[in-house]
């Protein structure tokens, strides 16, 4: 009897151990999916763990993060509430909930959560940076400035922090302090167009319009894509009677953001002034399709329609103004004129009578006021503002576009000529084998590789291609690949020595971010057959695992505020394993251009730039239309100081479809 109980206990322990190993594996794979932005897939993995072990806090936290990235703030909030209930000492939970509160515009609650997270990690720069938004939106500028000063002491005078500090100083009323911050930023970072734009805006506040114009000119010279730079320079040019230049700037602003209300409104006013009523009307129609309650635009459109003889449209717009501001005399007068021109004399007379009545009431109200310090009537104040919509100085002064567009909380819309789209000098990513490819009208056909073509002919169930911009899987695709893994597993039970089946299952495991299983399958396929593509795919998976590990190390260092450990030294063995696989791939298939390319990227990570250039050159020698290889070789050349060769390669990369090359070319050639 005791022996039977012992056996049962041992079996139970074995099952528990297996369950533990399975949930650990699921968590690791879910974290992989989260890291590579496969948020839907990540949620599915975390769901499985939560179902089995609902008492764990980490799967709930990670699922909440995935939901945040999908902008499911309600679902994320529910998960985070449960996490904090399970573990009230988890700073990341408060940080994540604070982030959600910011997005929901509950800034006071966000501030409390970020402050709570900072109790556990007082110098965590990520927590502090996010608390800035909460302070900013609550107009707590002194607190925001305190955090900014600490961040600058920790991280240095980064342009983003300096711009944010300048903004906070402006709002707090310290214009001279803001100028000093922006002036220092210009001197330290003279190639950043936002530095010049920030100082220009402060110069306007200080009524130094010539200095402001010079600064905006410099920002534009640096190929600024900040809409406010063009809107505000347009205003300054208008002040100097340079209508052509002002109009060109408004055109540029609208090209960058076709729905920008201020750009459209200011351009419409300028077009009215130069007599271009039809185009002014088009601008206002576009603006009001975005914001129907911008009554300044409604009034301006009414005036233009009256001038163009479109009296019915004018009457409709004047009526909207009167319904909103029943004591606004200019609207009654405009509508009366439109009625008169259309022959409706009775309605015109009624409007003129209404004007007389409003004026009489206003006189009575003035006589009743005993206290001269009493605030004027709100509606009267609004009416006074509306009557001066053509006052350019007022329009500009009420604008905060410079501040908004420089803010770290806004996303600029980039349109227009591709060479003017600000581009970071980032290497093109590794190529992988996948059945999916993003649609890109600029992409060139991929290189021909005979072994892959042959494999696709023999295995029609999943046609593979080389891509370096992977597609996140939908729910339907995730379920499809899980089923395919099951089907391939059943096939391997019957044919355990089929290397292609292991290879296909490895591809499927890679797609669902289960890297350990993929690695095992590719290794098994290699044991059965020395194939270049098998080594290539194993190298890709090893590199993905390494990327996750390095990302985790960087996050850990950031959270703990410890000194950074150089990833290429800590993970040197991992890099060597990846390079060995690529070595074997090019040994078996010397014309394998993608293996040469990926190996070159690894060599760049290890700062072996001359070897990287040689590998990129090999890839180009095999495929003279390999745009990504030209682009990455260009960046490598530039990094080692061979700028002329880099420029030539960027030109070729742009010609072959990588539009980012043109912006980098302009930056290099403007120096």
Residue in the block written with tokens 């209300």: 261
Angle between helices 125-137 and 159-171 in degrees, nearest 10: 30
In the chain, what are the helix, strand and coil shares in percent, each to the nearest 5?
A: 75, 0, 25
Q: Which residues pair with 140 in a beta bridge?
A: none
Q: Which two tokens stand for residue 426?
A: 């980032």
Domains and CATH numbers, the chain: 2-87 (1.25.40.10), 225-362+379-413 (1.25.40.10), 432-472+530-670 (1.25.40.10)
Checking if the pLDDT of 408 tops 70, the result is no
The H-or-E segment that residue 467 falls in is: strand 465-467
Q: In whole angstroms, how far apart are CA 112 and each of 108, 128, 135, 539?
A: 6, 12, 11, 45
Residue 514 phi/psi, 5-degree rounding, is: -90, 80
CA 494 to chain centre: 49
Q: Which two tokens stand for residue 301?
A: 């459109």
447, burial (CB in 10 Å: exposed 0-12, middle 13-18, buried 19+): buried
Residue-wise pLDDT tens digits, 417-458: 333 344 556 889 999 999 988 765 444 445 568 899 889 888
- pLDDT score recorded for residue 14: 43
Distance CA 597, CA 586 (A): 11
Residue in the block written with tokens 């001038």: 307
Q: Residues near 419 by Cβ (< 8 Å), separated by ≥ 6?
A: 223, 662, 663, 665, 666
Residue-wise pLDDT tens digits, 567-625: 556 788 889 999 999 999 999 999 999 999 999 999 999 999 999 999 999 999 999 98
Over its C-alpha atoms, the chain yields an Rg (Å, rounded) of 32
Question: Taking the model in full, what pTM does it have?
Answer: 0.61
Confidence category of residue 189, pLDDT binned at 50, 70, 90: confident
Portion of the chain with pLDDT greater than 70, in percent: 83
- pLDDT score recorded for residue 385: 37
- pLDDT score recorded for residue 401: 39
- Nearest partner of 329 among 357, 371, 298, 307, judged by Cα: 357
CA-based torsion, 596, 599, 601, 604: positive or negative: negative
Of the listed ranges 47-51, 528-532, 650-654, the least confidently predicted one is: 650-654
Whether the CB-CB separation of 253 and 260 falls below 8 Å is answered with yes
- pLDDT score recorded for residue 485: 93
For residue 434, the SS3 value is strand
Confidence category of residue 72, pLDDT binned at 50, 70, 90: confident
The H-or-E segment that residue 480 falls in is: helix 475-494
Portion of the chain with pLDDT greater than 90, in percent: 61
181-183-185-188 Cα dihedral, nearest 10 degrees: -130
Q: Which two tokens stand for residue 405?
A: 């567009």
- pLDDT score recorded for residue 652: 82
Q: Which two tokens stand for residue 306?
A: 């009256």
Q: Say which DSSP state 302 is in.
A: H
Distance CA 547, CA 515 (A): 12
Whether the CB-CB separation of 140 and 109 falls below 8 Å is answered with no
78-83-86-92 Cα dihedral, nearest 10 degrees: -150
Checking if the pLDDT of 548 tops 90, the result is no
């Amino acid at each position: 009897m005791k022996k039977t109980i012992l056996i049962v206990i041992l079996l139970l322990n074995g099952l528990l151990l297996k369950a533990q190993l399975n949930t650990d594996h699921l968590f690791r794979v879910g974290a992989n999916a989260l890291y590579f932005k496969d948020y839907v897939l990540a949620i599915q993995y975390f769901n499985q763990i939560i179902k089995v072990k609902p008492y764990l806090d980490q799967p709930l936290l990670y699922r909440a993060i995935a939901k945040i990235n999908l902008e499911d703030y309600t679902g994320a909030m529910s998960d985070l509430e449960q996490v904090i209930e399970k573990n009230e000492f988890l700073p990341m939970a408060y940080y994540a909930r604070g982030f959600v509160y910011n997005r929901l515009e509950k800034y006071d609650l966000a501030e409390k959560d970020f402050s709570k997270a900072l109790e556990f990690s007082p110098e965590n720069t990520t927590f502090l940076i996010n608390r800035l938004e909460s302070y900013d939106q609550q107009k707590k500028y002194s607190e925001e400035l305190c955090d900014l000063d600490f961040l600058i002491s920790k991280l240095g005078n980064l342009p983003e922090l300096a711009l944010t500090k300048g903004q906070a100083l402006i709002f707090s009323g310290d214009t001279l302090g803001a100028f000093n911050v922006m002036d220092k930023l210009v001197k330290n970072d003279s190639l950043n167009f936002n530095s010049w734009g920030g100082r220009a805006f402060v110069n306007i506040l200080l009524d130094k319009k010539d200095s402001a114009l010079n600064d905006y000119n410099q920002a534009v010279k640096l190929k600024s894509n900040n809409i406010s730079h063009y809107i505000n320079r347009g205003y300054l040019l208008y002040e100097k009677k340079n209508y052509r230049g002002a109009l060109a700037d408004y055109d540029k602003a609208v090209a960058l953001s076709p729905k920008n209300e201020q750009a459209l409104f200011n351009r419409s006013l300028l077009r009215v002034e130069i007599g271009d009523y039809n185009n002014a009307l088009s601008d206002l129609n576009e603006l009001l399709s975005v914001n129907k309650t911008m009554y300044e635009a409604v009034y301006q459109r009414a005036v233009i329609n009256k001038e163009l003889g479109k009296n019915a449209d004018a009457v409709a717009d004047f009526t909207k103004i009167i319904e909103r501001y029943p004591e606004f005399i200019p609207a009654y007068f405009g509508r009366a004129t439109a009625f008169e021109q259309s022959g409706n004399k009775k309605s015109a007379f009624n409007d003129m009578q209404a004007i007389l009545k409003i004026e009489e009431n206003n006189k009575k109200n003035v006589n009743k006021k005993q206290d001269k310090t009493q605030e004027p009537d709100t509606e009267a104040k609004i009416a006074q503002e509306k009557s001066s919509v053509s006052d350019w100085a007022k329009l500009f002064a009420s604008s905060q576009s410079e501040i908004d567009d420089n803010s770290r909380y806004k996303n600029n819309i980039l349109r227009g000529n591709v060479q003017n789209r600000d581009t970071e000098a980032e290497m093109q990513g590794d190529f992988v084998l996948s059945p999916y490819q993003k649609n890109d009208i600029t992409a060139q056909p991929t290189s021909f590789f005979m072994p892959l073509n042959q494999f696709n002919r023999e295995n029609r169930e999943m046609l593979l291609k080389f891509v370096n911009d992977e597609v996140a899987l939908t729910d339907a695709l995730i379920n499809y690949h899980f089923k395919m893994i099951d089907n391939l597993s059943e096939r391997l039970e019957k044919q355990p020595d089929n290397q292609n089946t292991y290879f296909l299952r490895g591809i499927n495991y890679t797609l669902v971010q289960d890297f350990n299983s993929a690695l095992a399958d590719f290794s098994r396929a290699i044991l059965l057959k020395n194939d270049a593509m098998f080594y290539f795919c194993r190298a890709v998976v090893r590199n993905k695992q390494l990327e996750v590990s390095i990302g985790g190390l960087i996050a850990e260092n950031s959270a703990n505020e410890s000194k950074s450990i150089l990833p290429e030294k800590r993970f040197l063995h991992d890099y060597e394993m990846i390079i060995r696989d690529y070595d074997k791939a090019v040994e078996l298939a010397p014309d394998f251009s993608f293996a040469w390319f990926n190996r070159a990227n690894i060599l760049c990570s290890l700062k072996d730039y001359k070897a990287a250039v040689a590998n990129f050159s090999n890839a180009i020698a095999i495929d003279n239309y390999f745009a990504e290889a030209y682009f990455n070789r260009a960046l490598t050349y530039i990094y080692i100081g061979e700028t002329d060769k880099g420029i030539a390669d960027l030109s070729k990369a742009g010609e072959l479809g990588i539009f980012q090359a043109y912006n980098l070319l302009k930056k290099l050639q403007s120096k």
